[in-house]
Amino acid sequence: MSNRAKRCSWCGELASVKLPYARLSLCSNHFLEYIERRVKNTIKRYKLIRPGDRVVLSLSGGKDSLALLHILNSLGDDFELCALGVDLGIKKDEYSARSIEVSERYCRELGVEFLKVDLEKDYGFTIDDVFSSRRIRRPVCSSCGVVKRYVTNRAAVELGADSLATGHNLDDESTVLLSNYLNADIDLLVRSGPVLPSRGERMVSRIKPLYETSEWETSMYVYYRGIQPVEQKCPYALDTPISRMKEIVNLLEERRTGSKIALVRGFAKKIKPILAEHHSALGEIGQCEECGYPTSTSVCSFCRLRKRVLNSK
C-alpha cells in the first residue's frame, strides 16, 4: 500500500491513503470512518458482541489495542466497555510503567473505566523475575503469553465480563495461521479464529475485533486520530521465527493482493467449523488443583510457572 496522493473515492478531496485490496483511495476522515465500519462489520460477521454485553478490552498501550479502544468506544452504547491493563513489571526503559500510563491516559480522555492488574502486587512476581529465573528455560515471551492469558481471563471473570477483547490484527492472525498450517498443528488451529468461546464458568470468551484489519491500517488509524502509543519497544521482543513468517505473509500479500484476508476469512468461515467438529481438542476441561481456574492438566501452566519463579527468587 502507498500514500500516493489521489482523490478520495468517497468525497473527491485529496486522498491520504490508498487501499489496493479494496480499490479505494480515501481522505483521512473517510479512512477513519472506513476502519470503524470495517471493525463493526467484523463484529457483526463473526457475532463477536451481543447487545448489552460487558466487554473488557485488554489494553497494552500499543497501537493496536489503543486503536481498538477508540473504535469500540465510537460504536455507541449498545454494549458496556471497560479496559484492563497488566503491569508486567518490566523495568528497562520503564516499559511497563509507560504502557500503563499511556493506557490510563486514553481511557481517562474517553471516559472509559480503566482497571489494572499489578503482577508483582497481585501475584508476587514480575516478567523481569521470569527472565532472570534459572528455572525457566522457555523463551520469556512464551511465559509472558501464559501470564497475560491467565491474569486477563481471571480479571475478566471477576469483573463479570461476557467477553475479553484483544488487539490481535490481520497480520498477527494470518501469520499464526500460516505457521500452524505449515506445522500441521491441529490443536492450535482449532484454537485460532476471531472468537475463542468460553469453555466453562471461569473462562471468558476471547474476541478479536481487528481480525480483518491490518497492522498498517491500525498504524494509520492512530496516526490520523492523533493517538500516541507507547514509544518504547518491549526489551524482550526479539527477532523470532514468527516475525520471519510475517515477512513471508507480507510477500504473499504483495504478490497476490487480498491474500491475508482470504486466509483468515476462509479459515474462520470454512475450515474451522469442520476442524472443530472432527477434533476433540475442545473437549473436556478440568479445574486447576491450586487456583480452581480451567486447565487440561492437574495444575495449570500459570500456577506451575509462578511456583518455579517464586522458588528461584
Residues that bind Zn ion (CB under 5 A): 8, 10-11, 13, 27, 30, 288, 290-291, 300, 303
Dihedral sign of CA atoms 304, 205, 84, 174 in order: positive
Report, in Å, the least distance between residue 58 CB and ligand SF4: 12
The amino acid that residue 42 corresponds to is T
237 near ligand SF4, judged by CB under 6 A: yes
285 near ligand SF4, judged by CB under 6 A: no
Which window, 68-76, 104-112, 192-200, 232-240, contacts ligand SF4 (CB under 6 A)?
232-240
288 near ligand SF4, judged by CB under 6 A: no
Report, in Å, the least distance between residue 172 CB and ligand SF4: 12
Number of residues that bind ligand SF4 (CB under 6 A): 8
100 near ligand SF4, judged by CB under 6 A: no
- Candidates 114, 236, 293, 302; binder of ligand SF4 (CB under 6 A) is 236
Report, in Å, the least distance between residue 60 CB and ligand SF4: 7
In terms of CB distance, is 69 or 147 closer to Zn ion? 147
User: Are residues 127 and 140 in contact, defined by beta-carbon separation less than 8 angstroms?
Assistant: yes
Residues 118-137 as x/- pattern, contact with ligand SF4 by CB under 6 A: ---------x----------
Residue spans of alpha helices (H) in the chain: 28-45, 63-74, 95-110, 119-123, 127-132, 140-158, 170-182, 186-190, 215-225, 241-255, 259-266, 272-278, 301-311
User: Are residues 21 and 195 in contact, defined by beta-carbon separation less than 8 angstroms?
Assistant: no
- Provide the 10 A C-beta neighbour count for residue 130: 27
144 near ligand SF4, judged by CB under 6 A: yes
- Provide the 10 A C-beta neighbour count for residue 294: 18
The CA distance from 32 to 226, in Å, is 11
DSSP reduced 3-state for 284 = coil
204 near ligand SF4, judged by CB under 6 A: no
Residue 288: contacted member of ligand SF4, Zn ion, none (CB under 5 to 8 Å, by partner type):
Zn ion
| DSSP string for residues in 11-32 | T-SBPSEEEGGGTEEE-HHHHH
Q: Which three cell numbers stand for residue 156?
A: 475478566
- Candidates 22, 24, 141, 291; binder of ligand SF4 (CB under 6 A) is 141
Residue 300: contacted member of Zn ion, ligand SF4, none (CB under 5 to 8 Å, by partner type):
Zn ion
- 32-91 residues in contact with ligand SF4 (CB under 6 A) are none
Which window, 150-158, 234-242, 279-287, 303-311, contacts ligand SF4 (CB under 6 A)?
234-242
242 near ligand SF4, judged by CB under 6 A: no
In terms of CB distance, is 208 or 306 closer to Zn ion? 306
The CA distance from 148 to 285, in Å, is 20
165 near ligand SF4, judged by CB under 6 A: no
DSSP secondary structure letter of residue 282:
G
196 near ligand SF4, judged by CB under 6 A: no
Place of cell 475442545: 282
Burial class (CB in 10 A: 0-12, 13-18, 19+), 297: exposed
Report, in Å, the least distance between residue 204 CB and Zn ion: 16
The CA distance from 164 to 205, in Å, is 6
Residues of the shown chain interacting with ligand SF4 in the complex, contacts defined by CB under 6 A = 127, 140-141, 144-145, 234, 236-237
